[in-house]
Structure 1
Amino acid sequence: MEVAIENRNLDALKELCKAEKKLAKDDEIVTAKVENLLKRRGFKVAEQPSATKEEMARRHFAFAMNCMRTGLCSKGIPYSTLQDLLETSSIDECKQLFSIIEENINEFKQPGMMDSVQNAILRSCNDLLRRLSRTAETSFCGRIMFFLSRFLPLTEKSGVNFMGHFNTANATVYDETDTESEALLTVATSSTPAAESEDIEVGEIEEDNAKEITVTPEMYRQFWSLQKFMSNPNSLYEKDKFAVFKRDLSAVLSLMTSNKLEKPSAEEEEAAERKERKKTSADDVFFAKYLTSPKLLPLQLNDSSFRRYFLMQSIVIFQYLTAECKFKPASKKMVLNEEQAKYISDCEEKCYRLLSDTMPRGNSFKDSLKRIMQREHEWNMWKNANCPDFAEKADKGAMQMYKKKTRTPFNPTNLDLGTPELTKLWNYEPDVLAACRADKRKFSPSLANFIRDPLDEMDPEQQVEEQYKSINDSAFQWRAARLLMAKSPGYISKQEKSAEPTTNIKEFLERTMYNSAKNIDEFKAGIEAREKKEEEARKKVEESLKRKLDTSKAKSSTSSPNPYADTLSDETLAQLAADLAGHAKQLAEVFSIGSAEETLKKTPAKTFCLKVLKEWAEKNGRSGKALLNTLISDIEVVEIAQKSLRKIQEST
């Protein structure tokens, strides 16, 4: 059997075991013999040189696994041989042998195998971690912890620190004597070049243009004394110790706030990102415990990584102090009072602010840390619930194999916009542009339907009061302006240079709608009849005024002055404007001045009338008779003008 195991001849080992079982008549004795020979062969493999040990170990482990599958040995023997190899090998050899365990993790997690090897794997990993240095062999420690996190089930109590124990033996040693710390801090903060060159030790880096932070011996002791609270947060529930923690932490945060790190330039940030991208997993990284020399603290506070370590420590402690933890002893009343809780909340916000101000990429680092702390909170709540198995909430049905969906070949004639509704909407009409231009999509009313009611309201025969007209509504005015601009040819008309701009939108829209109705067949007949009636009424008024004028002429004596024969002088126009000032609006309507209301708000009535009369007189030869004929459309205005002219004639 020993030769068959050494040559890894499984068939020969099977035949020998059958023969042994017939002679011994006890299967357990034969199995124990095979297991003993496998373990002895494992010790011989451990004696191999480092160059060939890993390969020999792989072959022996594979042979032991085949023996286990055929029932020649128990399920725990293959890993037991690996465990013996790890215990008798150096650290460098263990790094190579551990890859065998990592590669066979799926074999170890099989239902029948898991119960046999779980405790052995956990024990050997813990033994390795005890042998390793956390600072010099950080990478290998991480491999072991990562393997355990993948191998052990999530509900395994040994991997979650269920009782919440702290490593109180993690003490940070620093100089607590006043004389030594004061002397070192004095040297460290010296500004003379000679002192700087003398005090820089081997391995230290002299930073140019670094902002100097003054650290007193008291600040040095306050900063490093906080580490004892970090390693044992439960002590902070004592009132006296919390007061010390509050005093020291406030001093440190104030120092960091008053001495913010300078933001690097864009070129420096870009260079740092390029350097970060070039880093590979094979880069050697050394993780050291805090260096507590008084000479280093001013430089450490200028380092962004050092600040982040300290601020992250503080945030973790803050969350622990305020979290509800099942394992906190209820008898000790480990709860913060209202004042302490408010201080912790304020300090947490300050730490996050300092992290966002710590470059490079301060805001992204702060956001990442918040997500990590949220995950930590959820992890704590899961532990409070006694670590329930997530498998209980999973689907009870058997897992189905993933069926790959059949791919639909691309067809350019069939449009697919991603969802059935979008595709249906796009394929609603064959020509989408034509469908958008279809008549059924034109929601604006026709011009005839829109102006029908306003035209009726403008008709004097309808006797619609001014306050009830549609044109007074601002919304109607906006819609009318938009529609007339698009469909009425007279909306934009060429105006004379001397004409004043239109400021009364109401009158402008009424005039435009009325002129537009003249070109619509539906309204032509009604507008012609309306204009005919208005013309007849105007003629009647003119005839009536003429008869009154003729009657006044007959009554007057032959020596009476004739107001129509004289030319209108500037003095006459000024007197006439003064008499007509009370009827400025009617005068503006007679001369068809649209913006009279706005102008009268800014200009006195007499000045407005004088301006209007002068402009008319310049264009019409200053004829008094022509002026009265123009004013005849308004009886009240023409009578006032006639009396004023007669009065002026008599006085002269």
Structure 2
Amino acid sequence: MPGLEINGHGIPAVDAVGDYLQELLDDAESIKPERALEPILAKADFDDIYGHVARIFTGFDDPNGRKLRQYAIVETAARAIFGRLTVSTSIDSPDFVRVWNLFDILAIFSDNMDCDPPLLFWLIEELLDSQTVAGCRRVFDYLESRRERITAQYFNSTKLVILRSCNDLLRRLSRADDTPFCGRVFIFLFQVFPLGDKSSVNLRGEYHVENVTTYDEAPVKSAGEEETAVAEKMEVDDAPDKGESAEKPSGKKERQPAIDFAALYPVFWSLQASFSQPKKLFESAQFGQFKTGMEASLAAFRQISSQDDARKSRQLDESRRGAKRKRDKEDTDIRERKTERQDELADTYNPKYLTSRDLFELEVSIGLAPQAQEL
């Protein structure tokens, strides 16, 4: 038995709005023949768009319920077209630009209150739910390109939909494999929501206190401490007498003291307790300890950075004194390997640094400050 195809909803106003939306989509293809996100469709691109919509709804008898009925009619017609387009067209296809054009048209409608302002974001939310992660990236291309346009008006009536759709998307994404995309979502939220919005303020002052950073708090003497003490004693014994000149040869810089990683280790990792429970910093003793630990850590990182710069400078001087090499081919190979390495790192899981005492010197010595663990 052949399937029954329903061409209309049986409501003249719904069919009229649907036909007009289809007409606007056809006009949009002539306005944007390149089938791309840009340019953004605006009211000036269409002839008397608001007047046409007003004429469709001139026959409504109840003025009090007119807006609600109009919102329902426009939503029904828009959802019907949206459903047909998303079912018949892949998001990777150039023809999917008709969906972006439909969104732009609904944004024009919402500017004049011809449709419910959250309608655009309801459809975007459904589109995000129906797409793979790769498809969601394309949806976010649209959101980022229209951010100021679609959030300039009626933000209070649309912010809950925006927040809900972004949070649902973040739950689907892996913070290990989709880290750049997660960053895009967070940046979009930061740009859309004001700094003092309730959604971005920890009103209850609750923190992730269960995420405790475990490390070896007990001080441990290094195996070479005795040898170091003996060497220091020998240097003192070999020092010149008071009568002898103790002037240092000119041209030599004073040697910086070596970093005591054994002492820095507990100081650095103790900072995590303040990061996970910031309210503790209101206590003077805790704040003093935090300030001392932060100053010691930053001083060590600055010293490591200066040592790295000096080492790089020496390597540069040595390379200049070396024999001339075939640089063109080598530079090409290096660039290719660097590009391949960047592509690999983009899809590589970036774990948190381990807190083992044995690994601490290696972690810090490579010139990277260990990341603060997730709060």
TM-score (norm 1): 0.33
Partner of 2:311: 264
Root-mean-square deviation (CA, aligned residues, Å) is: 5.2
1:214–1:298 contact (8 Å) kept in structure 2:
no
2:208–2:276 contact (8 Å) kept in structure 1:
yes
Partner of 2:28: none
Gaps of 5+ in 1: 187-211, 314-652
Partner of 1:9: 22
1:135–1:287 contact (8 Å) kept in structure 2:
yes
Counterpart secondary structure, 2:136: helix
TM-score (norm 2): 0.52
Partner of 2:249: none
Q: Distance in 2 between matches of 1:16 and 1:164?
A: 47
1:127-170, CA deviations, whole angstroms, 9 ceiling, x for partnerless residues?
Answer: 4344434443332233233334443456x434764869574347
Q: Distance in 2 between matches of 1:304 and 1:130?
A: 33
Q: Are 1:128 and 2:191 counterparts?
A: no
What is the number of residues matched between the two proteins? 272
* Larger RCO (CA under 8 A, 6+ residues apart): 2
Partner of 2:368: 305
Q: Distance in 2 between matches of 1:159 and 1:23?
A: 40
Q: Are 1:296 and 2:341 counterparts?
A: no
Aligned residue among 94, 97, 113 for 1:55: 97
Amino acid at match of 2:139: L
Partner of 1:476: none
Partner of 1:29: 69
Q: Distance in 2 between matches of 1:41 and 1:109?
A: 23
1:172–1:224 contact (8 Å) kept in structure 2:
no
Amino acid at match of 2:352: Y
State the shift of 1:292 in Å. Answer: 0.9
State the shift of 1:255 in Å. Answer: 7.5
State the shift of 1:83 in Å. Answer: 2.2
1:532-555, CA deviations, whole angstroms, 9 ceiling, x for partnerless residues?
Answer: xxxxxxxxxxxxxxxxxxxxxxxx
State the shift of 1:45 in Å. Answer: 4.7
State the shift of 1:97 in Å. Answer: 0.3
Amino acid at match of 2:125: Q
Partner of 2:135: 93
Counterpart secondary structure, 2:92: helix
Aligned residue among 22, 40, 64 for 2:106: 64
Q: Are 1:139 and 2:147 counterparts?
A: no
2:122–2:161 contact (8 Å) kept in structure 1:
yes
Aligned residue among 104, 116, 136 for 1:74: 116
Q: Distance in 1 between matches of 2:312 and 2:177?
A: 35
Q: 1:17 to 1:299 in 2, by over 3 A?
A: same
State the shift of 1:228 in Å. Answer: 1.9
State the shift of 1:252 in Å. Answer: 6.4
1:174–1:293 contact (8 Å) kept in structure 2:
yes
Partner of 2:323: none
Amino acid at match of 1:265: K
Larger Rg, first or second structure (1 or 2) = 1
1:46–1:88 contact (8 Å) kept in structure 2:
no
State the shift of 1:95 in Å. Answer: 1.3
Counterpart secondary structure, 1:168: coil
Q: How does 1:586-601 map to 2 (within 5 A)?
A: none
Q: How does 1:316-335 map to 2 (within 5 A)?
A: none
Partner of 2:280: 235
Q: Distance in 2 between matches of 1:93 and 1:301?
A: 39
2:214–2:355 contact (8 Å) kept in structure 1:
yes
2:90–2:96 contact (8 Å) kept in structure 1:
no
Q: Distance in 2 between matches of 1:166 and 1:267?
A: 50
Gaps of 5+ in 2: 1-7, 10-14, 26-48, 224-257, 320-330
2:217–2:266 contact (8 Å) kept in structure 1:
no
1:174–1:292 contact (8 Å) kept in structure 2:
no
